Amino acid sequence: MATMDDSENFPVNPRIAAGAATMGDMISQRLSRRGFLGGLGAVSGLALVGCATGREVPVPTGDLQAQPVFRFDEIARGMDETHHVAAGYDADVLIRWGDPLFSDSPAFDPLNQTAAAQRRQFGYNNDFIGYVPLKADDAGRERAILCINHEYTSTNIMLPGVVAGYPASMTRALCEVEMAAHGGTILEIRKENGAWKPVVGSPYNRRITADTTPMQLTGPAAGSARLQTAEDPTGTMVSGTMNNCAGGITPWGTYLMAEENFNGNFMGELPEGHREAENHKRYGVPSGWYQWGRFFDRYDVSKEPNEPNRFGWIVEVDPMDPNSVPKKRTALGRVKHEGAESVVAPDGRVVVYTGDDQRFDYVYKFVTKGKFVAGNKAANADLLDEGTLYVARFDADGTLAWLPLVYGTGPLTEENGFASQADVLIGTRRAGDLLGATPMDRPEDVEPNAKTGRVYVMLTNNDRRTEDQVDAANPRASNRFGHIIEIIEPEGDFTSETSRWEILVKCGDPSIAQVGATWNPLTTENGWLASPDNCAIDPQGRLWISTDGNDDTGAADGLWALETDGDRRGTGQHFFRCPVGAEMCGPRFNESGDALFLAVQHPGDTDGASFEAPSTRWPDFAEAMPPRPSVMVVTRQGGGPIGG
Partner residues linked to 361 by β-bridges:
440
User: Which of 178, 188, 259, 357 is the binder for ligand FEO (CB under 6 A)?
Assistant: 357
Q: Which does 222 bind (CB under 5 to 8 A by kind): ligand FEO, Ca ion, none?
A: none
| Candidate residues 445, 538, 557, 565; the one interacting with Ca ion per rule CB under 5 A | 445
Of 424, 390, 410, nearest in space to 494 by CA: 390
Residues in the chain: 644
Q: Which of Ca ion, ligand FEO, none has residue 445 at its interface (CB below 5 to 8 Å by kind)?
A: Ca ion
- Pattern of binders to ligand FEO over 129-168, x per CB under 6 A? ----------------------x-----------------
Shortest distance, CB of residue 485 to ligand FEO, whole angstroms? 16
Q: Which does 551 bind (CB under 5 to 8 A by kind): ligand FEO, Ca ion, none?
A: none
Q: H/E element holding 361?
A: strand 359-361
Residues 508-567 that bind ligand FEO (CB under 6 A): 533
Number of residues that bind ligand FEO (CB under 6 A): 8
Task: Tell me whether residue 12 or residue 75 sits nearer to ligand FEO (CB atom).
Answer: 12
If one asks whether residue 338 binds ligand FEO (CB under 6 A), the answer comes out as yes
- Closer residue to Ca ion in complex, CB, 237/245: 245
Rounded to a whole number of angstroms, the minimum distance from the CB of residue 104 to Ca ion is 33
Specify burial of residue 397 (Cβ count, 10 A radius: 0-12, 13-18, 19+): middle
**Taking CB within 5 to 8 Å according to partner kind, which of Ca ion, ligand FEO, none is near residue 151?**
ligand FEO
188 binds, among ligand FEO, Ca ion, none (CB under 5 to 8 A by kind): none
How many angstroms separate the CA atoms of 476 and 479, rounded? 5
With beta carbons less than 8 A apart as the criterion, state whether 127 and 245 touch: yes
Work out whether 533 is an interface residue with Ca ion (CB under 5 A).
yes
Closest to Ca ion by CB, 46 vs 245, is 245
Q: Verify binding: residue 605, ligand FEO, rule CB under 6 A.
A: no
Closer residue to Ca ion in complex, CB, 276/486:
486
- Residue 616's alpha-carbon distances to 20, 39, 453, 620, 627, in angstroms, are 46, 50, 42, 10, 6
Please tell me whether residue 259 binds Ca ion under the rule CB under 5 A.
Answer: no
Contacts of 528 (CB under 8 A, 6+ apart): 507, 508, 509, 510, 517, 519, 572
User: What's the rounded Cα separation, in Å, for the pair 151 and 532?
Assistant: 17
Name which of ligand FEO, Ca ion, none residue 502 binds, using a CB cut-off of 5 to 8 Å depending on partner kind: none
Binding ligand FEO (rule: CB under 6 A), the pick from 385, 444, 471, 538 is: 444
Per partner kind, with CB cut-offs from 5 to 8 A, the member of Ca ion, ligand FEO, none near residue 260 is ligand FEO
Output the smallest distance, CB 279 to ligand FEO, in A: 21
- Cis bond before residue 11 (omega within 30° of 0): yes
Contact track, Ca ion, 402-441, x by CB under 5 A: ----------------------------------------
Task: Give the contacts of 332 (CB within 8 A, at least 6 positions apart).
Answer: 219, 313, 314, 340, 352, 354, 364, 366, 384, 389
Three-state SS across 467-515? HHHCECCECCCCECCCEEEEEECHHHCCCCCEEEEEEEEECCCCCCHHH
Contacts of 521 (CB under 8 A, 6+ apart): 49, 50, 51, 55
For Ca ion, the closer CB: 441 or 447: 447
Strand 327-329 versus strand 214-218 pairing type:
parallel
Residue list 224-253, contact with ligand FEO (CB under 6 A): 245
Q: Is the C-alpha dihedral spanning 130, 135, 138, 141 positive or negative? A: positive
Closer Cβ to ligand FEO, 28 or 354, answer by number: 354
Minimum Å distance from CB 261 to ligand FEO? 7
Q: Quick one: what does residue 486 bind among ligand FEO, Ca ion, none, with the CB cut-off 5 to 8 Å set by partner type?
A: none
Binding flag, residue 260, ligand FEO (CB under 6 A)? yes
Question: Considering the rule CB under 6 A, would residue 221 count as an interface residue with ligand FEO?
Answer: no
Question: If we measure between CA atoms, which residue out of 403, 394, 405 comes closest to residue 427?
Answer: 405
* Amino acid letter, 393: R
Backbone angles phi, psi at 506, to 5 degrees: -105, 125
Interatomic CA distance for residues 483 and 549, integer angstroms: 13
Which residue lies nearer to ligand FEO by CB, 338 or 447?
Answer: 338
Whether residue 427 contacts residue 405, with contact meaning beta carbons closer than 8 Å, is answered with no
Give the phi and the psi of residue 155 in degrees, each rounded to 5.
-55, -35
Whole-angstrom distance, CA of residue 19 vs CA of residue 17: 6
447 binds ligand FEO (CB under 6 A): no
Contact map string, positions 547 to 566, toward Ca ion, x by CB under 5 A = -x------------------
CB of 244 to ligand FEO, least distance (A): 9
Residues that bind Ca ion (CB under 5 A): 245, 445, 447, 533, 548
Residues that bind ligand FEO (CB under 6 A): 1, 151, 245, 260, 338, 357, 444, 533
